[in-house]
Structure 1
Amino acid sequence: MDFALWVYPWDLLDEGVHSVAEYCAENGIGELNLATNYHAVQSFLPHNPKRKTFFTQASSYFHPNKEDYGRLSPVPNEQMNGDDWLLQISNEIADTHLTLNSWTIGCHNSRLGMANPDLTLESPFGDSLLFGLCPSQPAVQKYLCSLVSDLSSRSSFKRIELETFDYFYGTGFGWHHDKYHLELGRLGEFLFGLCFCDKCCDNARKAGVDVDTARKSAQEGVTAIINGNLPSDTQPASWLRAHSSLEAYIEVRMKTLADLYNDIRSVLDSSIRLGRYVDFFDIEETWMQGVDLDILAEHLDYYTVIAYESNRQAAVERVQTTNRLTPDIPLHAGVLPGYPVIDSAEMVQDIVDGLANTGVEHISFYNYGLLPKQNLNLIGEATKSYR
């Protein structure tokens, strides 16, 4: 069993790369999943020696080769003050036992969205959802491919792991100071975030979809929930079966995303493994992000199943469900050994053991800088028998 830690660059540099490496060596950790291109965040840092919080807009922690990107390009974080944190960290990690992976955010980028609203997700009502770039847009596809190519050329990454390289969620995961005083539910949030930008509509029309009917169905679904005529807990899949044009519209997005992943794979250095996170939704509902797990697996080396659960059974079930839907690709897992899901060494140990019994051979723990020291100690106890 191999173990990794998700980590932010500011925590590595504030504490010292070699200090973090010492912790990792003592606790069975051999890899770091480093945030290299990340969404806006304010993180609380319980053991950071220099600060207790870090706020940043969506940023890269390296300086991109801008001539390769086209219209969209990562924006280097201003707090680097001209430095290149990825380069600095890579150089310092080279003489430790650790290997480095790139934890890479794709379409969840409010900074680029605000600067380019015509390239964002467009709600059925015509709203620009600034937190999410639309992967149907050619300029966004160019950006995502260039981002992966750039990262694979500039550091000795073992893996590049993709997050939100898809049609992002309708409320943006609280990306801003959100205000909602009604319950949209899973269906309402999905329908509101379903993109009807010009390129999504063009792709669907070319596939023979009645786009006008599809958009009207999405609008009517959201409106019915707002007016109290449709329960907010209505299951998305069952509701969609009565709206065939919208079902067909959604299927086109899956083909678009599969083509994009093929392009991403083609620009990746062959020595680097490519993974994708199976995110925080129900595994059977990845289609809501435009994802067909089995089709995308053709372009990936593994999935990391996010198993942020408070008990062994729930974590194991997420892995088993993913394996059922896409049986021919290796599965890794992600575990959160802290608030709000885990509060004891026994819970961490039980979940790690359960995941190991499913055949998972690689577990990543979230997140070095966010966990208090007592929770970091739980990791060492859980990994001891696998070293």
Structure 2
Amino acid sequence: MESSLYAFVEDFRGEGVDKVLDRVSAYGVGGVTIAAAYHQARDVTPHGSSRLTVRRDGVHFLPPEDVFGGLRLVPPMQEGAQDEPLAEIRRACTERGLKLRGWTVFLHNSAIGMTNLDVTVQNCFGDRGSPADLCPSHPDARLYAVALARSVARQGVDSVVAESLHFGTFAHGYHHERSFVPLGPMDTFLFGLCFCRHCMRRAVDLGVNGEVAREECGRIVAGVLGGDPPAQGEVTRAALTAYAGPEVVAYARARSESVTSLVAEVSDAVTAEGSKLTFVDATGALKGHADGLPSAGLAAHDAWQIGVDVVALGDLVPSFAVPAYARDAARVADDIGAYQRSIGKDRELRAVLRPGVPDSDSADRLAAKVRAARAAGAQAVDFHAYGLASLEVLDHIPAALA
């Protein structure tokens, strides 16, 4: 199964479609995973036409009127979307025999959240303080996600690669954040749980006392904000039960119903448009993003913290992409192996590696991680991302794949 290189429309616009795809082909990968719908970011782009690229929330195509007509939430358009850059890139990929996948950020969108705060996560104090995170339980957010999936599939992509199709985390709810209060991992987790009326109703339907869970979260977090010592140690179900009580754990686990049912709806919509869904579980990226040194718990085992039930999704989704953001090849193998055991060998499993720092400081280390991912069950190894890595680093890919 062919590997793919994640890339941005801005890469193609700045360097030229032919130039980028010539390099992609030379790297030995079989396709491009293009950011069809992305979020705000400021990126150092070492070989781009601009060396510091500011990205906005929005899509790189015209939102189809028959899909979004009548919906409250409609994605903003990126600059140049009217020129249909995805169509040009798709044609060029087809000419070279390259696959094109549509990388789609679903529920992480500050532009929509800031103007529709009621569809965003609501914490245990009633605050709408994470405007970038749309709640997977909110009916309007769900309709938006299905429509976005359908519209990306219509771009003629081989797969819709779904990022942020789950709950977000407290630590990444906006783009310029400050906290001068020491919050431990469990306090941060509790602070990030959503208690909007839609999440509360789903919990009650599953037999969980959401009000007790909300009160316990508020009591604990308020105590830490007031000077109580933060809890130490990783977030596990056992540790969280001891710290916050069984009702909080039950409430956190109940969130997976919202995510699982939404992913099922999105997958059906993508299939109806003639494509397939590749689900990205961001747990591995969250754990290793900063330094490539993820905490001990394997990503597949900690995915419940963002509402992802890996086993349940294994019955629904044909393809999974696992960001294995770690320096150590053995850790990459452990993470990939845990996902394969959870979803089964009949599902497509793709490992996503960063070819440069902080994960890979040499060509040998990258090659070792590619071998480890394959040995652990990954049918394809993808790389993130063309515009963010130097050309010297990208040149490590052919040998790693070989």
Q: Give distance in 2, aligned partners of 1:183 and 1:341.
A: 27
Any idea what the Cα deviations from partners look like across 1:67-96, whole Å, max 9, x if unmatched?
42311111101x217422223322333322
1:9 paired residue number: 9
What SS class does the counterpart of residue 76 from structure 2 fall into? coil
Match among 319, 340, 356 for residue 338 of structure 1:
356
Report 1:79-118 matches (<5 A): 79-80=79-80, 82-118=82-118
1:241 paired residue number: 241
What SS class does the counterpart of residue 179 from structure 2 fall into? coil
2:313 paired residue number: 296
Cα 1:356/1:75, change in 2 over 3 Å: same
Alignment-mate amino acid for residue 27 of structure 2: N
Q: Give distance in 2, aligned partners of 1:359 and 1:171.
A: 31
What SS class does the counterpart of residue 159 from structure 2 fall into? strand
What SS class does the counterpart of residue 341 from structure 1 fall into? coil
Q: Is the 8 A contact 2:60 2:77 kept in 1?
A: yes
Q: Give distance in 1, aligned partners of 2:118 and 2:180.
A: 28
Unmatched tracts of structure 2, length 5 or more: 288-298
Unmatched tracts of structure 1, length 5 or more: none
Task: Tell me whether 1:150 sits opposite 2:167 in the alignment.
Answer: no
Report 1:116-265 matches (<5 A): 116-128=116-128, 129-153=130-154, 155-172=155-172, 175-226=174-225, 227-233=227-233, 235-242=235-242, 243-265=245-267
Q: Aligned-pair distance for 1:303?
A: 1.2
2:329 paired residue number: 312
1:275 paired residue number: 278
Q: Is the 8 A contact 2:336 2:377 kept in 1?
A: no
Any idea what the Cα deviations from partners look like across 1:244-267, whole Å, max 9, x if unmatched?
222222232111222112211221
Q: Give distance in 2, aligned partners of 1:66 and 1:190.
A: 38
Q: Is the 8 A contact 1:125 1:219 kept in 2?
A: yes
Q: Give distance in 1, aligned partners of 2:45 and 2:392.
A: 13
Q: Aligned-pair distance for 1:283?
A: 2.6
Q: Give distance in 1, aligned partners of 2:231 and 2:253.
A: 25
Q: Aligned-pair distance for 1:301?
A: 0.9
Q: Aligned-pair distance for 1:241?
A: 2.1
Q: Aligned-pair distance for 1:57?
A: 2.3
What SS class does the counterpart of residue 369 from structure 1 fall into? helix
What SS class does the counterpart of residue 257 from structure 1 fall into? helix
Q: Give distance in 2, aligned partners of 1:194 and 1:160.
A: 27
Q: Is the 8 A contact 2:237 2:249 kept in 1?
A: no
Match among 372, 382, 386 for residue 354 of structure 1:
372
Alignment-mate amino acid for residue 273 of structure 1: K
Q: Which moved more, 1:6-15 or 1:261-270?
A: 261-270
Q: Is the 8 A contact 2:264 2:317 kept in 1?
A: no
Q: Give distance in 1, aligned partners of 2:247 and 2:326.
A: 36
Q: Aligned-pair distance for 1:209?
A: 2.2
Q: Give distance in 2, aligned partners of 1:234 and 1:259.
A: 28
TM (normalized to structure 1)?
0.93
What SS class does the counterpart of residue 231 from structure 1 fall into? coil
Q: Which moved more, 1:274-283 or 1:116-125?
A: 274-283
Q: Aligned-pair distance for 1:236?
A: 4.1
Cα 1:276/1:109, change in 2 over 3 Å: same
Alignment-mate amino acid for residue 350 of structure 2: H
1:37 paired residue number: 37
Alignment-mate amino acid for residue 73 of structure 1: V
Q: Aligned-pair distance for 1:235?
A: 3.2
Alignment-mate amino acid for residue 340 of structure 2: N
Alignment-mate amino acid for residue 183 of structure 1: P
Q: Is the 8 A contact 1:254 1:292 kept in 2?
A: yes
Cα 1:234/1:301, change in 2 over 3 Å: closer
What SS class does the counterpart of residue 42 from structure 2 fall into? strand
Q: Percent identity?
A: 26
Q: Is the 8 A contact 2:183 2:230 kept in 1?
A: no
Q: Aligned-pair distance for 1:55?
A: 0.9
TM (normalized to structure 2)?
0.90
Task: Tell me whether 1:286 sits opposite 2:285 in the alignment.
Answer: no
Q: Is the 8 A contact 1:25 1:97 kept in 2?
A: no
Q: Aligned-pair distance for 1:234?
A: 5.4
Q: Aligned-pair distance for 1:296?
A: 1.3
Alignment-mate amino acid for residue 39 of structure 2: H
Q: Give distance in 1, aligned partners of 2:248 and 2:383.
A: 38
Alignment-mate amino acid for residue 330 of structure 1: E
Report 1:16-27 matches (<5 A): 16-27=16-27
Q: Which moved more, 1:311-320 or 1:136-145?
A: 311-320
Cα 1:138/1:81, change in 2 over 3 Å: closer
Report 1:57-96 matches (<5 A): 57-69=56-68, 70-77=71-78, 79-80=79-80, 82-96=82-96
2:290 paired residue number: none
Q: Give distance in 2, aligned partners of 1:2 and 1:89.
A: 18
Q: Give distance in 2, aligned partners of 1:64 and 1:235.
A: 40
Q: Give distance in 1, aligned partners of 2:178 and 2:66.
A: 39
Task: Tell me whether 1:371 sits opposite 2:385 in the alignment.
Answer: no
RMSD across aligned positions (CA): 1.8
Q: Give distance in 1, aligned partners of 2:134 and 2:303.
A: 18
